[in-house]
A and B are shown apart, each in its own frame.
Chain A
Amino acid sequence: MVGRFPPSALVLGGLALGLILVFMLLPLGVVVAASLTAGQFLTFPPQGLSLRWYGDVLASEAYLAAAWTSLKVATLVTIAATVIGTAAAIGISRRRLPGSALLAGLFLSPLVLPSIIFGIGLLIVFSIWGNGPSLLALALGHTVLTMPYVVRTVAAVLADADPAIEEAARTMGAGPVARLRFVVLPQAKGGILAGAFFAFNVSFDEAVIALFLRTPGVETLPMRIYGQLEFSPTPAVAAVSTLMILMTIIVVVAIERSLGLRKVAT
């Protein structure tokens, strides 16, 4: 029997993995560290430790307003994308529809089209046919952007579900609504939850479409951070960013619990 990995591969590989992990986590770690500074300026390493910049953020009306806007948009988007995306995924996974492969491609297309192109398209459409960008315009754009995640996670779960159960329900006399409610939706539950968490996270973090649809009165958290970074960021920006990283960690844990990261990621 040959050993699976020679010692040189283990040493080299371990070293490489260590370096890659430092590289991947460095920017996040630096932000978290800088948010804890007691000093006036944004520095790494921080000067002394304190939570004063978190207090600063929580007392800042601009940040609170931006957080509220982000929350409103993300909540609207999560509901819309989850409902529409789940319905579409169930419809597509029936495979009775002609051209369901093409349809699946259409539903996933917002994932691969550059959001800068979509963003400028939305700006032009809302300026020509509407009253310019608004909170609802932003929510609509984010719904398009996040629906594919829901379609993907729900379709992935349904592909593994046993279709015989729904058939059994049908032969026992269950109508379409009852079958959806008591068979298909429970089967798809993990995928629906994971998709909803994804949708919330993507909308809450998204900056490109938000910047194109920028309008007075609608400023999300990523837009505010971007604006601060263009000028001179204070440690308060690091504190807000750390809170956003924290939220992402919570979402990642939630996705792992509901569907499993491995299943979602590949």
Chain B
Amino acid sequence: MPGAQGGQGLVEPIVLVTPGIALLFGAFLFPVGQILVLSVVPSGEELGAWSNFARFFADDYYIRVAWRTFRLSLLITAATALIGFPLAYAMARAPRWLAFLLLLLTVLPLMTSVVVRTFGWMMVLGRGGPVTDLLMLFGLSARNAVLLQTETGIVVAMVQVLLPFMVLTTLGVIAGIHPHLEEAARTMGAGFYKTLRHVVLPLSLPGLVSGSLLVFAISMSSFITPNLIGGVRLPVMASAIYQQAIHTLDWGFAAAQSTLLLIAVLGLLVPYLALMRRARV
């Protein structure tokens, strides 16, 4: 029995985890905590402690940015769930070679730099790109219509960037559904689609929900793709924070916006982690 020795072996695991804990406290929790502190510290002499938050909620511009971020994240999440569920189901039930191929084609884009993938979308969606040609071919748009610097463009690119997270989270749950359950439903007379709808979908729900929470949290805080595809005309919260921190050097205000973003994201991630823990057991 590994645990039978009781306290005898406690020193060794403590020695092993200490460097990691030191790194996490010094280089992770401390910087993140620093943001929280800086967001409430008064930034000017005549300003109160919460002035940075007051400024955020008083300014129409930032409310609009926050609303756009929320709205786009919702669309992105819905689209990834819609595409991700059939893909994850196919991965779980396909023959080995096909399942592996699908996994490879999900993981490969995931592990490619976001900068490179976004660059690809800039060409696909931009002037003279294949999407414009297709739309023109079907007479769906005027000449030179471009999806670059549109909200549609941001959603399309973000769905491709975040789909792997949805698929892999859902796959973990679907792979745990025993095929006998589907076979039982089928032999009892339910059709394929009915089985999918009444057996597989409800059982996959924990995966879909945790995948959605994860995708929503990541898209709320994404910055590279929305910034490059949307441009300066369509800022999201993360690009506003980047502007404040790097260009205007208003760290207090950037910290306050980061804190708001952190609260929103934690509100999503805590249920996500709870769901994942339940799914693992």
Contact = CB atoms under 8 A, between A and B. Distances in A.
B261 A114 contact: yes
A143 B3 CA distance: 31
A121 B192 CA distance: 51
B17 A97 contact: yes
B106 interface: yes
Nearest to B193: A9
Interface string A205-228: 111100110100000001001100
Contacts of B272: 112
B70 to A, nearest CB: 15
A42 to B, nearest CB: 7
Given A84-B19, A107-B24, A147-B20, A212 B119 contact: no
What is the interface residue range for chain A against chain B?
35 or more
Given A20-B83, A91-B13, A222-B115, A144 B124 contact: no
Interface string A234-263: 000110010011001101100000000110
Contact of B32 (A5, A24, A117, A143): A117
B71 to A, nearest CB: 18
Interface string B95-108: 00000101111111
Contact of B2 (A44, A95, A214): A95
A30 B128 CA distance: 12
Q: How large is the interface on B (under 10, 10 to 19, 20 to 34, 35 or more residues)?
A: 35 or more
B262 A117 contact: yes
Contacts of B258: 116-117, 120-121
A193 B276 CA distance: 25
Contacts of B191: 6
Main secondary structure of the interface of A (DSSP, over half): helix
A194 interface: no
A87 B171 contact: no
A116 B105 contact: no
A168 interface: no
Residue in B23, B38, B168 whose Cβ sees the most chain A Cβ within 10 Å:
B23
Nearest to A45: B130
Contacts of B168: 265-266
8 contacts: A20-B83, A28-B108, A84-B19, A91-B17, A96-B10, A112-B272, A124-B35, A225-B115
